[in-house]
Amino acid sequence: MRENPVFKIVSKILFGPIIIYGLYVQFHGDYGPGGGFQAGVIVAAAFILYSIIFGLERVRKLMPVIFVNYIMALGVLVFAGTGIASIILGANYLDYSPFAYKIYKAQHLGIIVVELGVGLTVFAVMLGLFYAFSGFKPKK
């Protein structure tokens, strides 16, 4: 299957648009359906498609395992750090109102940052699970 040029070219063409669509779902979550959970899965799906067609080694060069592990923790830190930032600015934990002067701008900002944290964690967990499942056994 990997030698089939149709799969190779289609997956190469689709790789970029899938990631852009994932980013659209990520940052457009407060206007339309979507958000961090879905976007993380979509972006991870782009990498998984690439690894199915071109082999795991090339994706591991693109997105190393240790990098994925760091992103996993980074997402949770971004989310929890938003809460710490609002405490430092003098509000309750995860209260977005002190981030901007107008309350709706503060809400938009807080939601975008928090959803980014969700997206990063979900993306890294999905990709890490795929690495762990498919890359553990050495090729014969």
Partner 1 sequence: MVEFWVNVFLISLLVVITFYIIRLKSLIAIVALSGAYSLTAAAIFVNMDAVDVAFTEAAVGSGISTILFLAALRYLPLEEAHHTRFSGWSLTLCIIVGLMLINAAFSLPDFGDPGAPAHLHVAPRYIEESYPLFHIPNVVTNVLASYRGFDTLGEVVVVFTAGIGVIILLTGSTLSMRFRKSENLPVQNKEASKKET
- What separation, in Å, do the N-terminal and C-terminal C-alpha atoms of the chain show? 17
**Reduced to 3 states, what is the DSSP secondary structure of residue 35?**
coil
| Touching partner 1, residues 94-133 (CB under 8 A) | 94, 96, 103-104, 107-108, 110-111, 114-115, 117-118, 121-122, 124-126, 128-133
Identity of the amino acid at 89: L
In degrees rounded to 5, what are phi and psi of residue 93?
Answer: -60, 130
d(CA 116, CA 101): 22
Among 18, 63, 75, 99, binds partner 1 (CB under 8 A): 75
With binding defined as CB under 8 A, does residue 84 bind partner 1? Answer: no
Residues at the site binding partner 1, with contacts judged by CB under 8 A: 25, 29-35, 37-38, 41-42, 44-45, 48, 65-66, 69, 72-73, 75-76, 79-80, 83, 93-94, 96, 103-104, 107-108, 110-111, 114-115, 117-118, 121-122, 124-126, 128-134, 136-138
